[in-house]
Amino acid sequence: MTRDQLDFDNQPQGSPASGSSPPRRAAVEDMEPGQQVQETYLASSKEMRTTKQGKPFLKLKLSDRTGTVDGVLWDDAEEAARLFEQGDHIQVSGQISEYAGSAQVKINNIQPVSPTQVDPHDFLPSTYRDIEELQGYLRFHMESVHDRDYRRLLDHVFSDSEFLERFTRAPAATRYHHAYLGGLLEHTVSVTSLCDHVAQQYPRVNRDLVITAAILHDLGKVDELNYEQAIEYSDAGKFLGHVTIGAIFISEKISAISGFPKEKADQLLHTLVSHHGELEWGSPKRPKTLEALIIHHIDNLDAKVKGFLEIVEGSRNAEWTDLRNLFRRPLHIPRAAHQEEDLIPPVRPEDPEERGPEERG
């Protein structure tokens, strides 16, 4: 298959049409304590809670494509809750405060917004990574597979332009890690790159098998999740889950390839259906091959590291998170060396003698 046939470069990116730029939104990523806000957001989570004094209040997660922020309404919460459902778009008025090191919207007023007034895609979080760059990495890994049968399978899967578009756009989860548009592609590239490094360290690893499995391991998420109005599970996702959906999908693709060896098909499918590792984690089989073991642990590693970073990146001026997170424990917030003020070299006064002749005038 040629690069032109594998048409990564012509996939829609969801970019706005050319012309005048729309007014700048009060984006979640730009929120600062003390800021007043009156803006439309997606109510991605909605909970009625009760204070210790028995007073009801409304706890929300407000989302746009730049991120998600907690929101709380203390007054007239029950009345406000009747105005909308989770997954609706609402206009929120309030003030940004800080709670447990993260931004929080103290909401004064909520008004429902008609679906005809919004573009849902503007409110779904998206990867900050460059999609074309990620597609290039994926293409690079595909082209590195030398096994003829596995390469034919990869070409067969990704030559479907409609499927490729959906794969490129899909999230990898509804929460915890890569839960945004483009997240599946980002996660797939990361897992495949890490598997490539592991395969180089252990010569007995079947590299072509592990790279093929890494690229294909989460394809079922394309159909497991809906991501048009909100990121949520589809009916197929609730009934079957992405492991089963993916195994069926790949089995059908293999069946369409003449002469695909059964032993290779069995080993690849085992690697895919066992990648969750344990039965209680939704894995029909536990890993029984070296390649399956690698896929399981690398997939889990990438999900956990990304999940950790997503938890701590929203924290402000704090060294620890609270324990309400994926790991159910306080997490220490790492800081890069260049963020430490005492490690930043002082700015020296400019010395005219150190300038080049062309700069001295």
Query: Which of 309, 331, 352 marks a domain boundary?
Result: 309
Determine the pLDDT at residue 7: 54
CATH of the domain at 171: 1.10.3210
Answer yes or no: do 63 and 115 share one domain. yes
CATH of the domain at 44: 2.40.50.140
Phi, psi of 342 (to 5 degrees): -75, -5
Query: Which of 123, 145, 175 marks a domain boundary?
Result: 123
Quote the radius of gyration of the chain (alpha carbons, Å).
24
State the CB neighbour count (10 A cutoff) for residue 2: 7
Domain contains 337: no
Determine the pLDDT at residue 344: 40
Domain contains 356: no
Tell me if 184 sits within 8 A of 242, measured CB to CB: no
Answer yes or no: do 271 and 162 share one domain. yes
Determine the pLDDT at residue 317: 66
Answer yes or no: do 176 and 243 share one domain. yes
Answer yes or no: do 163 and 281 share one domain. yes
Domain contains 100: yes
| Residue showing tokens 């293999």 | 254
Answer yes or no: do 283 and 304 share one domain. yes
State the CB neighbour count (10 A cutoff) for residue 24: 7
Q: What is the pLDDT of residues 236-288, one digit of tens each?
A: 999 999 999 999 999 999 999 999 999 999 999 999 999 998 887 788 899 99
Determine the pLDDT at residue 336: 56
Determine the pLDDT at residue 102: 80
Q: Provide CB contacts within 8 A for 168, sequence distance 6+.
A: 8, 11, 131, 135, 182, 185
3-state helix, strand, coil in the chain (%, to 5): 40, 20, 40
Domain contains 358: no
DSSP H or E stretch at residue 216: helix 207-216
Query: Which of 309, 328, 350 marks a domain boundary?
Result: 309
Tell me if 91 sits within 8 A of 111, measured CB to CB: yes
Answer yes or no: do 115 and 149 share one domain. no
Helix axes of 131-143 and 183-201: crossing angle, nearest 10 degrees: 40
Could you give the number of structural domains in the chain?
Answer: 2
Domain range for 60 is: 28-123
Answer yes or no: do 136 and 100 share one domain. no
Domain contains 18: no
Q: How far is CA 75 from the centre of its chain?
A: 34
Answer yes or no: do 156 and 208 share one domain. yes
Cα–Cα–Cα angle for 321, 326, 330, rounded to 5 degrees = 25
Answer yes or no: do 232 and 105 share one domain. no
How confident is the prediction along the chain (361 residues), in pLDDT tens digits per residue?
544 445 554 444 433 334 444 445 688 988 889 999 999 999 988 999 999 999 999 999 998 888 889 999 999 999 999 999 998 999 999 999 988 778 899 999 999 999 888 887 778 888 889 999 999 999 999 999 999 999 999 999 999 999 999 999 999 998 888 989 999 999 999 999 999 999 999 999 999 999 999 999 999 999 999 988 788 899 999 999 999 999 999 999 999 999 999 999 999 999 999 999 888 778 889 999 999 999 999 999 999 999 898 888 766 667 888 887 788 888 898 875 445 444 444 444 444 444 443 333 3
Domain contains 20: no
Rounded distance between C-alpha atoms, residue 209 and residue 292, angstroms: 9
Answer yes or no: do 145 and 204 share one domain. yes
Answer yes or no: do 225 and 90 share one domain. no
Answer yes or no: do 283 and 143 share one domain. yes
Domain contains 333: no
Q: What is the pTM of this model?
A: 0.74
Rounded distance between C-alpha atoms, residue 270 and residue 276, angstroms: 11
Domain contains 15: no
